[in-house]
């Protein structure tokens, strides 16, 4: 079976700065593929190119079989995207946020209620569907945003720092629902994260980005084994990048936290 995401020598420059430098990778159907690296490594820039939000400076990328430059509309129909920045509207209920997404995805009117109900149930939000999102916790907001990204049944879901700003309990809830999402939909997931426990818990394979390039790629076990017996994923990260990765609130806290993320991390 062909890969769901493929890049070949993909690069993106901002003036004299090369944010992504000749990245070649492949994501298999149905797998969770992690991108880890320090701020400035190029993770978010890579995601933005794969979701057609930024054009590459050079190289090629195909998502769900479509070229991101020549066939952007087809790519967008096949993907879901959960950005770093807050995307849920706090002045709407959970159900209303999903209804708006269903309309934007051009889901037929007769299918919207069923799909929204299924997405809410999968993310554990059925009981709060009619509550304003400004009253949600950070973890609930993130799960709602993930639900929004799945309504049109995409082949690939991109998640940029899916647990940013969440406390450990909120992170684990999101991890459990992401794993369930993969089981239920069969979609491939591409996830960026700064958290080594998140990468090890969620990801089948990981690419470590450093200075815009892939420093290493493999399963969590393979990356740890390359360092030595008893090594952790943190040890592997430090060896490969030369550095370390250093209160779940409500709607206002999440908005503030996500606004503070680095745009091209």
Helices (H), the chain: 43-50, 72-78, 94-104, 109-122, 138-150, 168-185, 196-202, 220-227, 233-241, 251-259
pLDDT tens per residue across all 265 residues of the chain: 589 999 999 999 999 999 999 999 999 999 999 999 988 899 999 999 999 999 999 999 999 999 999 999 999 999 999 988 888 999 999 999 999 999 999 999 999 999 999 999 988 999 999 999 999 998 899 999 999 999 999 999 999 888 887 788 888 888 888 888 888 888 999 999 888 988 998 999 999 999 999 999 999 999 999 999 999 999 999 999 886 544 334 445 555 555 544 333 3
CB–CB of 173/202 below 8 Å?
Answer: no
d(CA 220, CA 212): 20
Residue 179 is predicted with a pLDDT of 86
For 91, other C-beta atoms within 10 Å of its C-beta total: 10
d(CA 202, CA 228): 22
Residue 1 is predicted with a pLDDT of 52
Nearest to 80 by CA among 51, 41, 113: 51
CB–CB of 19/264 below 8 Å?
Answer: yes
What are 230's two structure tokens? 């008893």
Residue 191 is predicted with a pLDDT of 94
Task: Give me the domains of the chain, ranges plus CATH numbers.
Answer: 5-259 (3.40.50.300)
The dihedral built from the CA positions of residue 257, 132, 192 and 70, taken in this order, carries a sign that is: negative
Residue 246 is predicted with a pLDDT of 44
């Amino acid at each position: 079976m062909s890969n769901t995401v493929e890049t070949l020598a993909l690069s993106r420059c901002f003036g004299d700065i090369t944010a992504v430098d000749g990245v070649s990778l492949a994501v298999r159907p149905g797998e969770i593929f992690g991108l880890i690296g320090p701020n400035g490594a190029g993770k978010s820039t890579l995601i933005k190119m794969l979701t057609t939000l930024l054009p590459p400076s050079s190289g090629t990328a195909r998502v769900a079989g479509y070229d991101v430059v020549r066939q952007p509309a087809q790519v967008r129909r096949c993907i879901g995207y959960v950005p770093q920045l807050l995307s849920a509207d706090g002045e709407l209920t959970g159900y209303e946020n999903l209804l708006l997404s269903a309309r934007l995805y051009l889901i037929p009117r007769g299918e919207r209620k069923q799909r929204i109900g299924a997405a809410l149930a999968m993310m554990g939000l059925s009981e709060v569907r009619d509550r304003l999102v400004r009253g949600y916790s950070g973890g609930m907001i993130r799960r709602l945003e993930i639900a929004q990204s799945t309504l049109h049944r995409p082949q690939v879901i991109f998640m940029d720092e899916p647990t940013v700003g969440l406390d450990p309990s909120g992170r684990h809830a999101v991890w459990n629902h992401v794993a369930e999402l993969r089981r239920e939909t069969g979609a491939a997931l591409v996830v960026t994260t700064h958290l080594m426990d998140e990468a090890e818990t969620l990801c089948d394979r990981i690419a470590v980005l450093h200075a815009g390039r892939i420093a290493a790629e493999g399963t969590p076990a393979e990356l740890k084994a390359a360092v030595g017996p008893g090594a952790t994923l943190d040890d592997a990260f430090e060896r490969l990048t030369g550095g370390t990765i250093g209160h779940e609130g409500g709607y206002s806290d999440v908005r503030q936290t996500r606004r503070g993320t680095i745009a091209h991390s």
